[in-house]
Amino acid sequence: MPPPPPPPPLPSSSDTSSVENNARNMPSASSLSSDTSSVENKSSNLFGKDKPKLSVTSLNAWFAGKIALKNINIDIKQNCVTALIGPSGCGKTTLLRCINRMHEMTPRASVEGQIILDDLNIYDKSSDPVIVKRRMGMVFQKPNPFPTMSIYDNVASGLKLNGIKNKTLIKNVVEESLEGAGLWDEVKNDLAKPGISLSGGQQQRLCIARALAMQPEILLMDEPTSALDPTASSKIEELISNLKKNLTVIIVTHNMQQAARVSDYTAFMYLGELIEYGHTAQIFKNPAKELTERYISGKFG
């Protein structure tokens, strides 16, 4: 009896057909995720709750003529955490940046295809990128609070930039956002202190609070814990689980265990293609694709 048998060589990216690449028909699988009950799923279908929050169709993206995303099709479910995993350079961050229209801001970058946010085609000519970005918060790998601003002003900055002057309203939103980010109790007496005086983990939660202040519908997180220690990472992970009650989270992570812990759905990308997408429990217990199995088991290379 072997330990698990040696896998076949990696297929080239062209081996993954576009049919396989379509992640619309997600497999049903029992899991610890929030939407496991078939009865619940059936009833939510009746009321249209299963309609995706974000639907990506035939998305291609290029950097300087070089293709970075190939025919991506994926439906992101509302109030769920979706993890994007895959080796460096596979297109995870590019997909995230396409979703909030940051990709097109890069010189010589281009994108084609469709991304529907609720009923809005965000790449439609009539669609305003500023409004799209306002509906989506983004948290980056390294905490990036505004260095010259206080904790309070970091969170309030988005509101002020959007012309909100009502001080009571701003104060309430700042408090709610800091609470939402699990930071209020730690900073409520130090709101005037500089944001960068906080620890790394607190700074990252401050950035999350700053994103939450704009009341986004989707929170995009690009390796939000890769620069944090295990305790701070753990707090962010707990926070992610809480946040999904009110918004939809898409997280890029290189940490397989983190993806397994925090997400309801996982998408595995490789060389710009979406290889497999499904319930997180299914992906990590019984992936359908050999390539996924090899990546998550550390059998690459």
Contact stretch for another protein (CB under 8 A) within 18-26, 49-57, 115-123, 279-287: 279-287
Closer to another protein at the Cβ: 97 or 294?
A: 294
Question: Distance between CA 282 and CA 237 in Å, rounded?
Answer: 20
Closer to another protein at the Cβ: 152 or 284?
A: 284
Q: Residue 55: enclosing H or E segment and its boundaries? A: strand 54-63
- Confirm or reject binding of residue 301 to another protein (CB under 8 A): yes
Closer to another protein at the Cβ: 152 or 268?
A: 268
Closer to another protein at the Cβ: 176 or 293?
A: 293
Residues in binding contact with another protein, number by CB under 8 A: 19
Sheet holding 248-252, edge to edge: 136-139, 218-222, 248-252, 81-85, 265-270, 273-279
- Confirm or reject binding of residue 8 to another protein (CB under 8 A): no
- Confirm or reject binding of residue 172 to another protein (CB under 8 A): no
To the nearest 10 degrees (0 to 180), the angle between helices 151-161 and 200-212 is 20
- Confirm or reject binding of residue 107 to another protein (CB under 8 A): no
- Confirm or reject binding of residue 265 to another protein (CB under 8 A): no
Residues 6+ apart with CB under 8 A from 8: 290
Binding test (CB under 8 A) with another protein, winner from 5, 9, 65, 107: 5
Binding test (CB under 8 A) with another protein, winner from 136, 260, 269, 291: 260
Residues 6+ apart with CB under 8 A from 142: 227
- Confirm or reject binding of residue 296 to another protein (CB under 8 A): yes
Question: Distance between CA 189 and CA 29 in Å, rounded?
Answer: 46
**Which residues would be at the binding site for another protein (CB under 8 A)?**
1-5, 256-257, 260, 284-287, 292-293, 296-299, 301
